[in-house]
């Protein structure tokens, strides 16, 4: 699962919980940030094999710390706690819980897509429904999830028409990136290159999510010359 993870980030944001979209963008991919870091450190292991599954080249044969069920639960609780205690002292318990659930949603969506490479505990009892074996179906699910998440985001948040268009444009860009990832043939990257790519692309998306909600670009997006005197 790739861009489908962001559906949860979009859907989780509301006017009430006031969690920044960029925080949710980190939360839903937090397990992959840990994974990419541990792969770079040589602690977790990855093979990139052309045609490993129809929809992905990743053979994550050893990732107990980032992607076991127990690991995912611990990271989810950890991030919720950090958000509550250190990041935003005024955050409600409810908002912290949502951030924790956003982290855990990563494991659920990976469980649907991954072949049996997700351990329950340590490196034992591997599970995964393997939707990646059905390329079109998996792609369809990613896009449907993302579209659903964006629809909910637009419904639950009062934002200007211009910014709405920017959000939809970002969604379209994510779908195009997913098309490239799923359907465009390419020579496999090394494990370290893949991990670097995760850090670069995911962080780029976090920056876009930040710009969508605040800062100068948001003011420009909301600028309406007809309302000026
Ligand atoms: Zn993952």
Averaged pLDDT for residues 135-149: 95
What does the pLDDT look like over 158-173, one tens digit per residue?
A: 888 889 999 999 999 9
**Rounded distance from Cα 220 to ligand 1 centre (Å):** 35
**Rounded distance from Cα 219 to ligand 1 centre (Å):** 34
Question: Is residue 32 exposed (0-12), middle (13-18) or buried (19+ Cβ within 10 Å)?
Answer: buried
CB atoms within 10 A of CB 118: 23
Q: What is the mean pLDDT of the chain?
A: 90
Strand partners, 58: 48
**Rounded distance from Cα 22 to ligand 1 centre (Å):** 18
At residue 224's C-alpha, the angle toward residues 20 and 158, to 5°, is 35
**Rounded distance from Cα 139 to ligand 1 centre (Å):** 16
Q: Are 32 and 198 in contact (CB under 8 A)?
A: yes
Residues 168 and 187: their CA atoms lie apart, in Å, by 31
**Rounded distance from Cα 72 to ligand 1 centre (Å):** 10
**Rounded distance from Cα 42 to ligand 1 centre (Å):** 17
The model carries a pTM of 0.91
pLDDT at 143 over 60: yes
pLDDT at 208 over 80: yes
Question: Is residue 165 exposed (0-12), middle (13-18) or buried (19+ Cβ within 10 Å)?
Answer: exposed
What does the pLDDT look like over 95-118, one tens digit per residue?
A: 999 999 999 999 999 999 999 999
**Rounded distance from Cα 181 to ligand 1 centre (Å):** 15
**Rounded distance from Cα 90 to ligand 1 centre (Å):** 30
> Smallest Cα–Cα separation from 115: which of 39, 60, 72?
60
111 vs 57, residue with greater confidence: 111
**Rounded distance from Cα 1 to ligand 1 centre (Å):** 7
CA torsion 13-98-21-205 (nearest 10°) is -130
**Rounded distance from Cα 113 to ligand 1 centre (Å):** 10
CA torsion 167-169-174-178 (nearest 10°) is 150
Radius of gyration for the chain, computed over Cα atoms and rounded to the nearest angstrom: 18
Look at residue 133 in the predicted model and tell me its pLDDT.
86
| 214 DSSP 8-state letter | S
What does the pLDDT look like over 65-94, one tens digit per residue?
A: 999 999 999 999 999 999 998 776 666 888
pLDDT at 229 over 50: no
Please give the structure tokens belonging to residue 91.
């955050």
| 46 DSSP 8-state letter | E
**Rounded distance from Cα 163 to ligand 1 centre (Å):** 30
pLDDT at 211 over 90: yes
pLDDT at 219 over 90: no
pLDDT at 215 over 60: no
Look at residue 132 in the predicted model and tell me its pLDDT.
87
Q: Are 212 and 166 in contact (CB under 8 A)?
A: yes
Averaged pLDDT for residues 44-51: 89
Please give the structure tokens belonging to residue 55.
């929809």
Averaged pLDDT for residues 210-226: 64
**Rounded distance from Cα 34 to ligand 1 centre (Å):** 9
**Taking the mean position of all CA atoms in its chain, how far away is CA 106?**
7
> Smallest Cα–Cα separation from 67: which of 24, 103, 41?
103
Look at residue 187 in the predicted model and tell me its pLDDT.
86
Look at residue 216 in the predicted model and tell me its pLDDT.
46
Averaged pLDDT for residues 15-23: 92
| Structure confidence at residue 180 as a pLDDT band (50, 70, 90) | very high
**Rounded distance from Cα 204 to ligand 1 centre (Å):** 17
């Amino acid at each position: 699962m790739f861009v489908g993870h962001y559906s949860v980030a979009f859907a989780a944001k509301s006017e009430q919980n006031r969690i920044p979209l960029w925080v949710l963008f980190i939360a839903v991919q937090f397990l992959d940030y840990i994974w990419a870091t541990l792969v770079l450190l040589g602690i977790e292991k990855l093979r990139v094999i052309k045609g490993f599954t129809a929809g992905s080249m990743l053979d994550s044969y050893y990732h107990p710390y980032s992607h076991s069920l127990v690991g995912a639960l611990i990271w989810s609780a950890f991030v919720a706690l950090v958000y509550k205690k250190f990041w935003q002292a005024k955050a409600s318990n409810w908002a912290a819980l949502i951030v924790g659930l956003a982290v855990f949603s990563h494991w659920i969506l990976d469980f649907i897509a991954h072949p049996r490479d997700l351990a329950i505990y340590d490196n034992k009892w591997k599970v995964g429904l393997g939707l990646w074996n059905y390329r079109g179906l998996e792609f369809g699910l990613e896009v449907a999830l993302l579209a659903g998440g964006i629809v909910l985001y637009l419904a639950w948040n009062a934002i200007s028409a211009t910014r709405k268009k920017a959000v939809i444009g970002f969604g379209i860009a994510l779908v195009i990136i997913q098309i490239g990832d799923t359907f465009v043939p390419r020579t496999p990257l090394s494990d370290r290159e893949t991990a670097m790519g995760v850090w670069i692309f995911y962080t780029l998306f976090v920056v876009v999510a930040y710009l969508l909600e605040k800062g100068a670009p948001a003011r420009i997006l909301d600028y309406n010359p007809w309302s000026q005197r």
